[in-house]
Amino acid sequence: QNQKTKEQIESLLQNGKHKELRDRLCCRLTFGTAGLRSAMGAGFCYINDLTVIQSTQGIYKYLERCFSDFKQRGFVVGYDTRGQVTSNCSSKKLAKLTAAVLLARDVPVYFFSTYVPTPFVPYAVQQLKAVAGVMITASHNRKEDNGYKVYWENGAQITSPHDKEIIKCIEECVEPWNGSWNENLVDTSPLRQDPLKKICDCYMEDLKKICYHRELNIQTNLKFVHTSFHGVGHDYVQLAFKAFGFQPPIPVPEQKDPDPDFSTVKCPNPEEGESVLELSLRLAEKENAKVVVATDPDADRLAVAEQEENGCWKVFTGNELAALFGWWMFSCWKENCSEDADVKNVYMLATTVSSKILRAIALKEGFHFEETLPGFKWIGSRVKDLLDNGKEVLFAFEESIGFMCGTSVLDKDGVSAAVVIAEMATYLEGKNLTLAQKLIEIYETYGYHISKTSYFLCYDPPTIKRIFEKLRNFNAPQTYPKFCGIYNILHVRDITTGYDSSQPNKKSVLPVSKSSQMITFTFQNGCVATLRTSGTEPKIKYYAEMCALPEQSDRTVLEEELQKLIEALIENFLEPDKNGLIWRSA
């Protein structure tokens, strides 16, 4: 019933574009590391009115099977500010259709009356005791994309087997039901409630649980600049700063209001660093603000930059920020815990492609550190298990600037992370330290962890498959490489096949993930490197880290060694020229 997407298919048909028609119509969306994500437009593997209706019908069918009280407890729906004129698709419209499917089947729906940060949906699912929730967002992806992120009753993103079962249910009911197209139901149905005020108030109140220096925050002269990258973050970050006792951060005027075209940045991903932070850094210089916080368009991730003595800006990597957060959350816990609190009951988590710095801190301080597969859905589920078993989780992260401070939200949250960083900077200023200086202190105490993450673009799935299959059959069938250039490989772990040479039974401890490619190499020189495909974009990512002991404090030597190893990794294992890979633009 969407004229625009209907016209796209008719036009392809008239112009004899059969290959593109096949590409669009002969495969379905599948759940990646962040739910369903694809370009907006016509076709069964795109995000559009029909595929969102079909997905929601499948979810309805599955939830009806899983929960006898589904129609008492209800379902949460949130959305960001994305939109595309050419396919008449917007996050709000897709959210209305999601709600319509459920309302037409007499399911109570908590539908936010305006755009919200992604973390508000998992938070609302738990607060309102709903059975599940959906957020319509493609986070920091390019403007053409959108997505459909599903949260279970525990407030964590769905993992296996739910995702597989939902896909099966979707395939069983592809014909839209009566009422599924009625996007006006959210305005007329008595079963629709708006949870915005309640959830926003509760969230800001809960946030105060991780505020430890309110007096300092009230008094500080430090200024902060915040950019919301044309997305949802502005209002919510302002409220979060207020909850911590701060003056509001200075917004970047050109980027504070929603704009689905993200017109001032070449890509809406704050992870890309200084090139996309240009406007906020210039404003900070003008306003004499020393720290810039940037939330991505759906406000679940956070980038941070700090001005150095020489006037240049240091943009922290996700791994560097995690070192700071890990130190901070543990120090605050230690200062505020009861006398009988047991450090052995305390946990921090990271995904396996992220820095091992938390492991080093945990070993020295006596708390537990655990790793999960890439993707916050694995962290959220594991944290919930730990909490249910009486454990205390202080912090979790993934290197792609995703942070979870505290456990009010079981997903990454850029709003809470922004205000925690502000409090940390305020506290450190009182000790005459910058964030960058503290980071060096942390590395000198726990050992330098120097990491580099980047990617190649590859739009040809068979090429990607070939690259990884070559690594599994390197010099002979079913043998992995023993060397990478001059570097000796100690262990290989292949999450795709479940192999791990470091385990006595040669089986990986982390669950197998057949749908994506991921191989990790541990080198004799202490470097750990992982090659994997992205769950949300056409990328081959590489992650490499040198983990040194505290006494190995020559940073320059470690950096040079890491750089050489990465060059060997690219040249020997990825072979970009031969495979036609596109280098990430600087």
Q: Tokens for 485?
A: 């250039």
Q: Are residues 483 and 532 in the same domain?
A: yes
What is the distance between the alpha carbons of residues 137 and 36, in angstroms, rounded to a whole number? 10
CB 148 within 8 A of CB 47: yes
Domain span holding position 329: 210-432
Q: Are residues 409 and 457 in the same domain?
A: no
Question: What pLDDT sits at residue 585?
Answer: 66
What is the distance between the alpha carbons of residues 63 and 150, in angstroms, rounded to a whole number? 12
Residue 265: which pLDDT band, with cuts at 50, 70 and 90? Answer: very high
Question: What pLDDT sits at residue 125?
Answer: 98
Residue 473 lies in a domain: yes
Q: Are residues 492 and 390 in the same domain?
A: no
- C-alpha 401, offset from chain centre: 7
CATH number at residue 334: 3.40.120.10
Please say which residue of 381, 403, 432 terminates a domain: 432
Residue 74 lies in a domain: yes
Question: What pLDDT sits at residue 586?
Answer: 46
Q: What is the pLDDT of residues 471-489, one digit of tens each?
A: 999 999 999 999 999 999 9
Q: Are residues 220 and 195 in the same domain?
A: no
407, 452, 463, 481: which is closest to 546 by C-alpha? 452
Query: Which pairing describes strands 313-315 and 302-307: parallel, antiparallel, or unpaired?
Result: antiparallel
Whether pLDDT at 554 is above 90: no
Whether pLDDT at 204 is above 80: yes
Q: What is the pLDDT of residues 355-409, one digit of tens each?
A: 999 999 999 999 999 999 999 999 999 999 999 999 999 999 999 999 999 999 9
Residue 139 lies in a domain: yes
Question: What pLDDT sits at residue 93?
Answer: 98
* End-to-end alpha carbon distance in the chain: 43
Residue 437 lies in a domain: no
105, 122, 96, 107: which is closest to 74 by C-alpha? 107
Mind telling me the catalytic residues? 139
Positive/negative CA dihedral, 70, 73, 74, 79: negative
Residue 205 lies in a domain: no
How many domains, the chain?
Answer: 3
Q: Are residues 224 and 175 in the same domain?
A: no
Residue 235: which pLDDT band, with cuts at 50, 70 and 90? Answer: very high
Residue 38: which pLDDT band, with cuts at 50, 70 and 90? Answer: very high
CB 411 within 8 A of CB 118: yes
Lowest mean pLDDT among 14-23, 32-41, 117-126, 153-162: 32-41
Q: Are residues 84 and 174 in the same domain?
A: yes
414, 404, 400: which is closest to 453 by C-alpha? 400
Question: What pLDDT sits at residue 280?
Answer: 98
Residue 514: which pLDDT band, with cuts at 50, 70 and 90? Answer: confident
Which percentage of the chain shows pLDDT scores above 90?
A: 94
In whole numbers, what is the pLDDT of the chain averaged over residues?
Answer: 96
Q: What is the pLDDT of residues 116-174, one digit of tens each?
A: 999 999 999 999 999 999 999 999 999 999 999 999 999 999 988 899 999 999 999 99
Q: Are residues 371 and 234 in the same domain?
A: yes
Three-class secondary structure of residue 113 per DSSP: coil
Please say which residue of 137, 166, 199 terminates a domain: 199
Residue with tokens 């993103």: 157
